[in-house]
Amino acid sequence: MEIFIDSADVAELRQTSATGLVDGVTTNPSLIAKSGRKMRDAIAEICSIIDGPVSAEAVATDVEGMLAEGRFLAAIASNVVVKLPLTEAGLMACRTLSGEGVPVNVTLCFSAVQALLAAKAGATFISPFIGRLDDAGLDGMELIREIRAVYDNYGFTTRILAASVRTTNHVKDAAIAGADCATIPAKVFQALYKHVLTDQGLEAFLKDWRSTGQSIL
Ligand code: E4P
Protein backbone atom coordinates (compact mmCIF):
# COMPACT_ATOMS: atom_id res chain seq x y z
CA MET A 1 0.00 0.00 0.00
CA GLU A 2 1.30 3.44 -0.89
CA ILE A 3 1.58 6.04 1.87
CA PHE A 4 0.73 9.66 1.22
CA ILE A 5 1.09 12.47 3.76
CA ASP A 6 -2.02 14.59 4.32
CA SER A 7 -0.42 17.99 4.88
CA ALA A 8 0.51 21.34 3.34
CA ASP A 9 3.28 21.93 5.88
CA VAL A 10 6.50 21.84 3.86
CA ALA A 11 8.77 21.35 6.89
CA GLU A 12 6.75 18.28 7.87
CA LEU A 13 6.78 17.03 4.28
CA ARG A 14 10.56 17.45 3.94
CA GLN A 15 11.07 15.52 7.18
CA THR A 16 8.73 12.63 6.36
CA SER A 17 9.83 12.34 2.72
CA ALA A 18 13.49 12.10 3.77
CA THR A 19 12.67 8.55 4.94
CA GLY A 20 12.10 7.46 1.34
CA LEU A 21 8.83 5.90 2.48
CA VAL A 22 6.43 8.61 1.32
CA ASP A 23 4.75 8.04 -2.05
CA GLY A 24 2.66 11.18 -2.38
CA VAL A 25 0.85 14.07 -0.69
CA THR A 26 -2.72 15.23 -0.34
CA THR A 27 -3.86 18.72 0.57
CA ASN A 28 -7.27 20.29 0.97
CA PRO A 29 -8.51 23.88 1.38
CA SER A 30 -8.39 23.59 5.20
CA LEU A 31 -4.74 22.44 5.11
CA ILE A 32 -3.80 25.25 2.70
CA ALA A 33 -5.54 27.76 5.01
CA LYS A 34 -3.61 26.32 7.98
CA SER A 35 -0.32 26.75 6.08
CA GLY A 36 -1.03 30.48 5.65
CA ARG A 37 0.36 30.30 2.10
CA LYS A 38 -0.98 31.01 -1.36
CA MET A 39 -2.26 27.81 -2.98
CA ARG A 40 0.00 28.12 -6.02
CA ASP A 41 3.17 28.68 -3.97
CA ALA A 42 2.40 25.91 -1.51
CA ILE A 43 1.61 23.34 -4.22
CA ALA A 44 4.67 24.31 -6.29
CA GLU A 45 6.98 23.85 -3.31
CA ILE A 46 5.35 20.57 -2.26
CA CYS A 47 5.75 19.25 -5.83
CA SER A 48 9.44 20.13 -5.70
CA ILE A 49 9.83 18.04 -2.53
CA ILE A 50 7.76 14.99 -3.53
CA ASP A 51 8.08 13.16 -6.85
CA GLY A 52 4.80 11.29 -6.45
CA PRO A 53 1.23 12.53 -6.85
CA VAL A 54 0.32 15.76 -5.02
CA SER A 55 -3.39 16.44 -4.71
CA ALA A 56 -4.49 20.09 -4.96
CA GLU A 57 -8.18 20.80 -4.46
CA ALA A 58 -10.39 23.07 -6.56
CA VAL A 59 -12.84 25.23 -4.60
CA ALA A 60 -15.31 26.21 -7.34
CA THR A 61 -18.66 24.44 -7.05
CA ASP A 62 -19.76 24.68 -10.70
CA VAL A 63 -18.39 22.62 -13.59
CA GLU A 64 -16.84 25.52 -15.54
CA GLY A 65 -15.18 26.89 -12.41
CA MET A 66 -13.81 23.46 -11.48
CA LEU A 67 -12.44 23.00 -14.99
CA ALA A 68 -10.71 26.41 -14.94
CA GLU A 69 -9.25 25.86 -11.48
CA GLY A 70 -8.35 22.26 -12.28
CA ARG A 71 -6.43 23.25 -15.41
CA PHE A 72 -4.66 26.03 -13.46
CA LEU A 73 -3.66 23.63 -10.67
CA ALA A 74 -2.55 20.92 -13.12
CA ALA A 75 -0.25 23.43 -14.84
CA ILE A 76 1.70 24.08 -11.60
CA ALA A 77 3.67 20.82 -11.89
CA SER A 78 3.52 17.53 -13.75
CA ASN A 79 2.76 15.57 -10.56
CA VAL A 80 -0.31 17.58 -9.54
CA VAL A 81 -3.51 15.58 -9.13
CA VAL A 82 -6.63 17.74 -9.23
CA LYS A 83 -8.93 17.08 -6.29
CA LEU A 84 -12.65 17.54 -6.86
CA PRO A 85 -15.58 16.97 -4.50
CA LEU A 86 -18.01 14.11 -4.98
CA THR A 87 -20.88 16.21 -6.34
CA GLU A 88 -22.65 16.05 -9.68
CA ALA A 89 -20.56 19.01 -10.90
CA GLY A 90 -17.40 17.42 -9.48
CA LEU A 91 -17.97 14.20 -11.39
CA MET A 92 -18.78 16.04 -14.62
CA ALA A 93 -15.55 18.04 -14.27
CA CYS A 94 -13.72 14.81 -13.36
CA ARG A 95 -14.87 13.22 -16.59
CA THR A 96 -13.66 16.15 -18.69
CA LEU A 97 -10.30 16.59 -16.94
CA SER A 98 -9.62 12.85 -16.96
CA GLY A 99 -10.36 12.85 -20.69
CA GLU A 100 -7.72 15.56 -21.09
CA GLY A 101 -5.20 13.36 -19.31
CA VAL A 102 -5.33 15.24 -16.00
CA PRO A 103 -5.41 12.84 -13.04
CA VAL A 104 -8.30 13.51 -10.64
CA ASN A 105 -8.75 12.57 -6.99
CA VAL A 106 -12.45 12.57 -6.12
CA THR A 107 -12.77 13.55 -2.49
CA LEU A 108 -15.39 13.61 0.26
CA CYS A 109 -16.59 10.08 -0.58
CA PHE A 110 -18.88 8.55 2.03
CA SER A 111 -20.62 5.71 0.18
CA ALA A 112 -19.82 2.87 -2.22
CA VAL A 113 -22.30 4.13 -4.80
CA GLN A 114 -20.53 7.51 -4.81
CA ALA A 115 -17.27 5.63 -5.39
CA LEU A 116 -18.89 3.68 -8.26
CA LEU A 117 -19.85 6.96 -9.96
CA ALA A 118 -16.35 8.39 -9.47
CA ALA A 119 -14.84 5.34 -11.16
CA LYS A 120 -17.30 5.67 -14.05
CA ALA A 121 -16.26 9.34 -14.33
CA GLY A 122 -12.65 8.24 -14.83
CA ALA A 123 -11.21 9.23 -11.45
CA THR A 124 -7.60 8.21 -10.86
CA PHE A 125 -8.17 8.19 -7.08
CA ILE A 126 -11.23 7.94 -4.85
CA SER A 127 -10.89 9.27 -1.30
CA PRO A 128 -13.25 7.61 1.19
CA PHE A 129 -13.14 9.49 4.52
CA ILE A 130 -12.75 6.79 7.18
CA GLY A 131 -12.30 8.98 10.26
CA ARG A 132 -15.23 11.25 9.59
CA LEU A 133 -17.51 8.20 9.19
CA ASP A 134 -16.21 6.79 12.48
CA ASP A 135 -16.72 10.21 14.10
CA ALA A 136 -20.36 10.02 12.99
CA GLY A 137 -20.77 6.61 14.66
CA LEU A 138 -20.52 4.69 11.37
CA ASP A 139 -17.92 2.17 10.20
CA GLY A 140 -15.35 3.85 7.96
CA MET A 141 -13.44 0.66 7.25
CA GLU A 142 -16.56 -1.10 6.01
CA LEU A 143 -16.70 1.52 3.27
CA ILE A 144 -13.17 0.62 2.14
CA ARG A 145 -14.18 -3.06 1.96
CA GLU A 146 -17.33 -2.23 0.00
CA ILE A 147 -15.49 -0.06 -2.54
CA ARG A 148 -12.80 -2.73 -2.96
CA ALA A 149 -15.50 -5.30 -3.75
CA VAL A 150 -17.32 -3.01 -6.20
CA TYR A 151 -14.15 -2.03 -8.04
CA ASP A 152 -12.92 -5.63 -8.22
CA ASN A 153 -16.31 -6.85 -9.46
CA TYR A 154 -16.06 -4.62 -12.52
CA GLY A 155 -12.32 -4.20 -12.99
CA PHE A 156 -12.27 -0.47 -12.26
CA THR A 157 -8.72 0.82 -12.02
CA THR A 158 -9.56 3.87 -9.86
CA ARG A 159 -7.24 3.70 -6.87
CA ILE A 160 -8.72 3.58 -3.39
CA LEU A 161 -7.01 6.27 -1.31
CA ALA A 162 -8.09 5.81 2.31
CA ALA A 163 -8.45 9.32 3.76
CA SER A 164 -9.34 11.02 7.02
CA VAL A 165 -7.03 8.59 8.77
CA ARG A 166 -6.71 9.13 12.51
CA THR A 167 -4.77 6.14 13.87
CA THR A 168 -2.18 3.50 13.06
CA ASN A 169 -4.99 0.93 13.29
CA HIS A 170 -6.76 2.76 10.47
CA VAL A 171 -3.61 2.29 8.36
CA LYS A 172 -3.39 -1.42 9.22
CA ASP A 173 -7.09 -2.05 8.62
CA ALA A 174 -7.05 -0.12 5.33
CA ALA A 175 -4.11 -2.24 4.15
CA ILE A 176 -5.92 -5.45 5.13
CA ALA A 177 -9.09 -4.24 3.38
CA GLY A 178 -7.11 -3.73 0.16
CA ALA A 179 -6.88 0.07 -0.08
CA ASP A 180 -4.30 0.99 -2.72
CA CYS A 181 -3.02 3.96 -0.72
CA ALA A 182 -3.68 5.77 2.54
CA THR A 183 -3.16 9.47 3.17
CA ILE A 184 -2.18 10.09 6.74
CA PRO A 185 -1.16 12.99 9.00
CA ALA A 186 2.59 13.21 9.70
CA LYS A 187 2.03 12.31 13.36
CA VAL A 188 0.32 9.04 12.38
CA PHE A 189 3.19 8.31 9.97
CA GLN A 190 5.72 8.78 12.81
CA ALA A 191 3.62 6.51 15.04
CA LEU A 192 3.77 3.67 12.46
CA TYR A 193 7.37 2.99 13.52
CA LYS A 194 6.56 2.68 17.17
CA HIS A 195 6.03 -0.41 19.28
CA VAL A 196 6.71 -0.66 23.00
CA LEU A 197 8.28 -4.11 22.57
CA THR A 198 10.68 -2.74 19.94
CA ASP A 199 11.84 -0.08 22.41
CA GLN A 200 12.16 -2.57 25.27
CA GLY A 201 13.89 -5.18 23.10
CA LEU A 202 16.40 -2.67 21.74
CA GLU A 203 17.18 -1.38 25.21
CA ALA A 204 17.89 -4.93 26.44
CA PHE A 205 20.06 -5.80 23.41
CA LEU A 206 22.12 -2.62 23.82
CA LYS A 207 22.56 -3.21 27.57
CA ASP A 208 23.84 -6.74 26.93
CA TRP A 209 26.06 -5.50 24.11
CA ARG A 210 27.64 -2.83 26.33
CA SER A 211 28.48 -5.56 28.87
CA THR A 212 30.70 -7.28 26.24
CA GLY A 213 32.97 -4.25 25.96
CA GLN A 214 33.17 -4.89 22.22
CA SER A 215 32.69 -2.53 19.29
CA ILE A 216 31.72 -3.82 15.85
CA LEU A 217 33.98 -1.45 13.87
C1 E4P B 1 -7.99 13.75 2.27
O2 E4P B 1 -7.56 13.93 1.17
C3 E4P B 1 -8.32 14.81 3.23
O4 E4P B 1 -7.42 15.88 3.04
C5 E4P B 1 -8.15 14.37 4.66
O6 E4P B 1 -7.75 13.04 4.77
C7 E4P B 1 -9.27 14.78 5.55
O8 E4P B 1 -8.99 14.35 6.85
P9 E4P B 1 -9.75 14.92 8.12
O10 E4P B 1 -11.09 14.27 8.21
O11 E4P B 1 -8.88 14.54 9.27
O12 E4P B 1 -9.86 16.42 7.95
Per-residue pLDDT tens digits for 85-126: 999 999 999 999 999 999 999 999 999 999 999 999 999 999
Helix (H, G, I), strand (E, B) or coil at 122: coil
- Which of 131, 130, 74, 128 has the alpha carbon at shortest distance from 103? 74
Q: How far is CA 122 from CA 66, 72, 96, 110, in A?
A: 16, 20, 9, 18
- Ligand 1 centroid to residue 57 C-alpha, Å: 12
Helix (H, G, I), strand (E, B) or coil at 106: strand
Helix (H, G, I), strand (E, B) or coil at 24: strand
Mean pLDDT value across the chain: 98
Quick: pLDDT tens for 39-57: 999 999 999 999 999 999 9
pLDDT, residue 31, reads 98
Q: Within a domain: residue 7?
A: yes
**Residue 148 CB contacts under 8 Å (≥ 6 apart), including other chains:** 160, 177, 178, 179
The domain spanning residue 173 has which CATH number? 3.20.20.70
28 C-beta closer than 6 A to ligand 1: yes
Q: Within a domain: residue 41?
A: yes
- Ligand 1 centroid to residue 71 C-alpha, Å: 23
Q: Within a domain: residue 14?
A: yes
Q: Within a domain: residue 75?
A: yes
- Which of 55, 40, 41 has the alpha carbon at shortest distance from 7? 55
CB atoms within 10 A of CB 133: 19
Quick: pLDDT tens for 146-192: 999 999 999 999 999 999 999 999 999 999 999 999 999 999 999 99
pLDDT bucket at 142, cuts 50 / 70 / 90:
very high
Q: Within a domain: residue 76?
A: yes
Q: Within a domain: residue 48?
A: yes
Q: Determine the average pLDDT of the residues in 29-43.
A: 98
- Ligand 1 centroid to residue 24 C-alpha, Å: 14
**Percentage of the chain lying above the pLDDT 70 cut:** 100
Q: Within a domain: residue 217?
A: no
Domain count of the fold of the chain: 1
pLDDT, residue 60, reads 98
38 catalytic per annotation: no
**Residue 1 CB contacts under 8 Å (≥ 6 apart), including other chains:** 174, 175, 179, 180, 181, 182
Quick: pLDDT tens for 11-20: 999 999 999 9
Could you tell me if 181 and 125 are in contact, meaning their C-beta atoms sit under 8 angstroms apart? yes
In terms of residue numbers, what domain contains 77? 2-212
Of 34, 38, 83, 172, the catalytic one is 83
